[in-house]
Structure 1
Amino acid sequence: MTEFWIEMGWGVSIDNAEIADAVNAVEEIRKRYDENGVFWIGHIQEEYVLKIYKDLSLLYIYGENQDKELLILLEDWSLAEHFIGMYFSKDFLGIKEEIKRITLNKTTKLT
């Protein structure tokens, strides 16, 4: 048994999910043509959730009550898979810091 779960916007849930299940979810979301193009990856004990949309938006939900969020637009699906790998490695703080760094770099480039 694993400590992870996946919930897909098209009605599929996976308990005891493995990274291969998340990679399959990426492949499935890329094929979808409807409004249900989203999936969540969560941990049964930790309060961190990745929410990945078909448009490459990534929402990182965290906090004691899952009341904090970071949102970024990914450049490609390989970056989504990178964050998924970090998630399954339980590098929750690393995800948060990398999203903040990406956001800061994009903001700095715009000014």
Structure 2
Amino acid sequence: MRFEEWERDLVLFQQKFLAELADGTEDTITSTLEAYGELNGHSAMARYVGVPCGIAAQMVLDGLFKESDIFAPHSKEICDPIRETLEAHGMGLVEQEITQLYGFYVTVVRS
């Protein structure tokens, strides 16, 4: 897709988790990504799809992963190094935790 000089793309992604803790309290945790493409530069889609794939490919070539096979990257051994590398390059999610405390809802934001 070609953009005009003044155009850029936008990537929005959000996941929401509802958690019940051992003490019976409930938390809602969201992870949100909002990324704009660069004017006359890389698109947000190129950065947030292409860069993670490139990082993962480099880690495979470097022998970082001990297993060899085709599998979904759901384990901490795979996800954590990729996430940490992305965050080191300023590409991370913003996490919010909404919890009830003494009858009030409190939001904690982590980035």
* TM-score, L = length of structure 2: 0.26
Rg larger for: 2
More strand by share: 2
More helix by share: 1
Structure with larger RCO (C-alpha < 8 A, sep 6+): 2
